[in-house]
Amino acid sequence: MMTTPVPVTSFIPHLTIQFNWSNSTSNSTSNSTSHSTSNSTSPPLSDLLMSCFTMIFGTISNLTALGILAMSRSRFRGQSNLPFLLLTVALLLADLGGHFILGAFALYGHISARYKMPSLKSSVAFCKIFGASMVFFGLCPLLLGCAMAVERWVAISRPFLHVYITVAHVKRVVLIFISSALVLALLPIFYVGKYTTQFPDTWCFLPIQDSPSTADKNLVLAFSCLGLIALILSLLCNVLSGLPLLKAKLKSRNCYTKPSAQGSSRASSTSTSTIFCSLEVEMLVQLAGVTVVSCVCWGPFLINIFMKQFNRDPKGQEDRFTLQSLRMVTWNQILDPWVYILIRRTMLSKLCCGLHNQSFMTPNPSFTDSRRETFM
């Protein structure tokens, strides 16, 4: 008796494959032939079209974000802003590379399932490349996002120290992070650990559920710990970077609410608009958006694979929670560029400065009463 086709979505949003599993043994050669012929249904064409659409959409999103950064490059001419620009470009390029390479693997998965080509389980070399690419393009955005958060914290909280940070220093940091992710991804290819197909045999990664050796377990722990440390450090730096700006806003608001002359009120308005409609605020809000997206998308997966190294599940058990968390991870590379597309200076100016101008147009009660007494 044959089971019905089950649609499964892999780590990558471009890959949705249908598989058929047989629970019975054939009684004769003719029966097995008829069973395989009647149930070897290929995935529908709509899945392949959706895969192509998602890949194209993600690629266009990253290219659009890179184009916006290129057009606004003149605003980053200051030495203090160039490190953040370089890190942002590196992050978007990592996301773009992930879309191209992992998207190509996903299309191969569609084609192999549709035209009866060898599956991932039977291709050891391809599984190694697939797993290494997923580890590399998974760690790179997390590490680069952490570097961006640290850079903004130094720029806002330690401006005198930030003066000594040059583009050459940032390039070295980017090179170190990329090299670290690459080394971790290549270790299983050189037989330090291994890559295996994961449930439901549609993607390759480090052994998550059944780590056969200490090396495999250590690699999974290294991947999860690096990702979690990057997320925690990014959150901490964002909070520490936002506090000085919040204090500046409260200080300027207190100066404005005190009865004062019209000139001092205008000066307060100018200082507030300068603080909250500046390029620094735009970069900080963009960084906060990237951090939130990374935490929501990556947090469940990283915590899950970390805990699985200490809480062993029965071998061969279907791990649907890991599969669901991987589906969330796939949105990281799609949502990152939209943070830079949607959160721009013009939008922040309309939001922040518009709210401040509205509050500025509302007269202060004490100031109005004093003017009324003067005219009476």
Instruction: Delimit the domains of the chain by residue range.
Output: 44-364
Q: State the Cα torsion 54-60-65-71 to the nearest 10°.
A: -170
Q: Give 3-state DSSP helix, strand, coil % of the chain, rounded to 5.
A: 75, 5, 20
Q: What's 44-364's CATH class?
A: mainly alpha
Give the model's pLDDT for residue 372: 40
Give the model's pLDDT for residue 256: 54
Do 205 and 128 meet the contact criterion of CB atoms below 8 Å apart?
no
Give the model's pLDDT for residue 297: 92
**pLDDT beneath 70: ranges in the chain:** 1-48, 50-51, 73-80, 109-110, 113-114, 116-122, 252-279, 312-318, 344-376
Give the model's pLDDT for residue 226: 96
Give the model's pLDDT for residue 104: 81
Do 174 and 128 meet the contact criterion of CB atoms below 8 Å apart?
no
Give the model's pLDDT for residue 157: 86
Tokens coding 161: 């120290």
Give the model's pLDDT for residue 270: 45
Do 242 and 154 meet the contact criterion of CB atoms below 8 Å apart?
no
Give the model's pLDDT for residue 266: 46
Three-class SS of 117-159: CCCHHHCHHHHHHHHHHHHHHHHHHHHHHHHHHHHHHHHHHCH
